[in-house]
Structure 1
Amino acid sequence: MKVLLVDDHPLFLEGLQNLLTARGIDVVGTAGDGLEALEKARALHPDVILMDIQMPRCDGIGATRLVTAELPDIQIVMLTVSEEDKDLFEAIRSGASGYLLKTLDSDKFLELFSGLSQGEPALSPGLARKILGEFARKAGGAEGTAQGYEDDVEERLTPRQMEVLTLVARGLTYKEVGTVLCLSERTIKYHMGKILQKLHLENRTEVIAYAARMGLVRGET
């Protein structure tokens, strides 16, 4: 996994880089603000960007919009001190794949961050519940009732898209979903694009939150 680090505090950047490289993670570069992050992303093509929010010139949320619009294959995880709901929701809406707090201890941070390679969203404990609550309010306002919205899901998605949605929500990677359904990873990504479009969602993190709220993920016994 190639990682680009973006933060306007050099001392924090140095410590984070040392932590990641000690665990065998390839840190390909660093940037001090959002505009430099976009330039480095173009040049270095990282798999993941760890992005602070409060930075000069261009903040992390603005940079997330710029990077995801131009380089959609790059995953962006916010790494911030902000626990404000507005920052969390705006980051996810802007295309972030995760939101981690700088208050995490190093072991928990590495555990959550490493989950990205398994197709899991990187979210600090407690934040997933906030996201679910936000989508519940949005769906309720837009559709009248959550039940009516749930009943409409299968009408909007094809049977194959429902299969993909359910498997992705269970935490499978696109490759693993393809293996289960005997389809190529490229085909799974195509179906995911259609799912996002039909359900008016922005990214994989929103899909997982949506599926959980709709009861599409059942407990396994």
Structure 2
Amino acid sequence: MDDEFAGALAACATIDAVKALFKQRIAVHGYTASACGAFLPTDMGPETHFFFQDWPPDWIELYVRRNFLAADYTVAEARRRIAPFTWLEAKAVRTLSRAEQDIWDTAGEWGWTDGLSVPIHGPGGYFGLVAMAGKERPMPPALRGELHQLAFLTHERCRALTRLAPVINPRAALTHRELECIRWVAAGKTDWEIADLLGVSQTTVRTHIDQARRKFGARTRAQTVARLVLEGLS
């Protein structure tokens, strides 16, 4: 995890500050526009909530006027995926409808020939999404992992600032031992090292870490540690 970015993000007191920090960080990788939001389940269907949009105003107007959201295949793909994916990767495994192809062609006219979408799924049907637009470029695993973490941290900070879809207070939900184990994970310790430090078995350590992960609504240890930092529990 990028501790410097996580620390700077935790210090952001407004959504605008989060947007500016995220924009600056992804720009070095060639991404020129982005959005961060969530689709909340309601009785009337998913309700779209944008934390921020860093698209040109004319593009936003066009996207809304032509109702691109209803036919945006990257959103549809994000609903059924867990891992980050490039828009070209998603395009390669589906036959685009006329409306979907229209979005792709129009985005290309604006100079966006590829992008990266990071799905974020949480308890109760929560579905968040961070999208970055740019030009086609290689996506080695290390870069994909870095952008995944940046997007996840950014989304979580936005959610915390807006108090959207709150979850159980982790400080109250985690046991002392669960919190202790996750803090050691954040410090870079292995399961074996944590077990040795606490005088318990590695199986017990893994159980505590997995329980903490579930309580945070996280899918990986890295996400659990990220939420630990953002909740001020580290």
Name the TM-score class by shorter chain: 0.3 to 0.5
Instruction: State which structure, 1 or 2, has the greater radius of gyration over its C-alpha atoms.
Output: 2
The TM-score, its normalising length taken from structure 1, stands at 0.41
